[in-house]
A = this chain, B = another copy of it.
C-alpha cells in the first residue's frame, strides 16, 4: 500500500536513513498515495528505486537482514534490533554495503525472500499482541540504528545551567540554620537540633541543586522572612 511506503519513508528519515528500495509495489510506481503520506521526506522519496525481485534489490549488498518474526521452519541467526544496529554500524564503518528487508508477514516476505537474508531481526513484542505494521517495524529498527551512533548522554539537565558548587550549597544551608536559630525554631527541641539539621542538609544534598536553584531557594527564604502584609495570610 502506498500509505505504508510513505510512512516507512518518514520513519527512515526520522533516523537518517535515505536509501529506500521497493520490490514490485502492488500499485506501481510512482504512487501518489505514498507521496502524500511521506510529507517532507522528499529526500527519501526522490531516491526510491524499484526492483522486480528481492534478489535484484539486494544484488549489490554484502550483508542483508530480514525483519520478521522468528521463523520456526528454518535455521537462521536471529538478532535483536539493538544487536543488528551494532552489526550494521560496524559493517558500514568498514565500507561494506548493508540492507534490511521489510514486508508484511502474511503476503510480503516469503520464506524464499527470508532465505536470501543472512540474518533475521526480530522485534521483541508482547507475545499476546505482536501485530505491528511495516512502518512501525521500520521505525523501531531505525531507532536502534540511530541510537547505535548517537552521542547524546542518557541523562542530562536541559538548559545551560550548571550544578551548584559545595560552597554555594554551604552558604544556603548556613542561611537556613541561622534563620531558624534567630526565630527560636529549635528552642523546644534543642536536643534534636543536630539530627534535624543533618537530615535537612542530607535532603538538600539529595536535590542535586543547580546554581539557579540555590538562588531560587535563597529568594524563598528571603521572601518568607519578611513581615506579613496587613492583609497577609500564612
Contact = CB atoms under 8 A, between A and B. Distances in A.
Interface of A: 10-11, 13-16, 40-41, 70-80, 82-83, 120, 122-126, 128-132, 136, 139-140, 143, 146-147, 150, 152-159, 161, 210, 212-213
25 contacts: A10-B131, A13-B128, A15-B126, A16-B126, A16-B128, A40-B131, A41-B129, A70-B158, A72-B158, A72-B159, A74-B158, A74-B159, A75-B157, A76-B159, A77-B155, A77-B157, A77-B158, A79-B155, A83-B154, A83-B155, A120-B158, A124-B143, A140-B140, A140-B143, A143-B143
Contact of A146 (B82, B122, B126, B155): B126
B124 A13 contact: no
A127 to B, nearest CB: 9
